[in-house]
Amino acid sequence: MNIKNGLSGLVTAAAFSVCLLAVPGISGAETLWDEPRAFVEFSVPVERVEKASISEDGLLWIVLDDQGRTELHEMTRANLGQPVQIVMACQVVLRFTVTTELESGRLRVQNPHQGLIEALEAFL
């Protein structure tokens, strides 16, 4: 095998690989060039908080009141499989894809923003 034929084979193989990635219907190919999915935004007023606490490992736990729990449950039921972001006190609290209906009304926030902690100070 000479160098010219070897390089030609590499270029052909690379082009074939790129074509495979760009063909719709092949597993994973659609996700490479799709537009980012829009999040369903769910706003939770601070008034819907029943209590909040910060654990020793720095997680912020928020428990919603009855109305907040009901609204969260209805939103997750209506958006199964969809990406959602929960906003509270003008801060994105959580981003996730809904895989099940949330009934507990408990939210766990990793690395909470200082503005959110200040907004929830009365509940801590």
pLDDT tens for 12-45 read 344 433 333 444 444 444 445 555 668 999 999 9
pLDDT at 94 (0 to 100): 95
Distance between CA atoms of residues 90 and 85, nearest Å: 12
Half-sphere exposure (CA, 13 Å, Cβ side) for 84? 23
pLDDT at 30 (0 to 100): 47
pLDDT at 124 (0 to 100): 92
pLDDT at 23 (0 to 100): 41
pLDDT at 20 (0 to 100): 38
pLDDT at 98 (0 to 100): 97
As to burial, measured by CB atoms within 10 angstroms (0-12 exposed, 13-18 middle, 19+ buried), residue 82 is middle
pLDDT at 15 (0 to 100): 40
pLDDT at 77 (0 to 100): 97
Output phi, psi for 10, to 5 deg. -65, -45
As to burial, measured by CB atoms within 10 angstroms (0-12 exposed, 13-18 middle, 19+ buried), residue 89 is middle
pTM: 0.69
All residue ranges of the chain with pLDDT < 50 are 7-31
